[in-house]
Amino acid sequence: DIVMTQSPDSLAVSLGERATLNCKSSQSVLDPSNKQNYLSWYQLTPGQPPKLLIHWASTRQFGVPERFSGSGSGTDFTLTISSLQAEDVAVYYCQQYYSIPYTFGQGTRLEFK
């Protein structure tokens, strides 16, 4: 199984500041045949269904605010929130869908400083 490791486990950021969340996979999730990274980011907020933010490592899901961006390739990935808003306090998970079983990271809890 591909093991996904996120860092940090928790992060405190001031309103309006940048948040950077990291995700590392135990093996590459880049398909050389199509140059796609099989990596998604999700946001989990209490009382709300989990929300897909980013897929293919850097493609923003329809309706997701532009302050969310994804980057990286191979085994190292980053989710960046350019200017933290109140509604962004949540737990964020990365997930690989390169090989079965699809696996998730342990999550990063994002809080206000």
Partner 1 sequence: QVQLQESGPGRVKPSETLSLTCSVSGGFINTYYWSWIRQPPGKRLEWIGYVYSSGSTKYNPSLNSRVTLSVDTSKNQVSLTLSSVTVADTAVYYCSRGYYEGDLGHWGQGARVTVSS
Applying CB under 8 A, does 101 fall inside the site for partner 1?
A: yes
Considering only 12-20, 45-53, 66-74, 81-89, which stretch makes contact with partner 1 by CB under 8 A?
Answer: 45-53
Considering only 9-17, 72-80, 81-89, 105-113, which stretch makes contact with partner 1 by CB under 8 A?
Answer: 105-113
CB of 49 to partner 1, least distance (A): 4
Please tell me the distance from the alpha carbon of residue 96 to that of residue 100, in angstroms, as a whole number.
Answer: 9
- Which amino acid belongs to residue 44? L
**Residue among 25 and 95 whose Cβ is closer to partner 1:** 95
Closest by CA position to 95, among listed 55, 35, 66, 62: 55
CA angle 79, 37, 99 (to 5 degrees): 115
CB of 32 to partner 1, least distance (A): 17
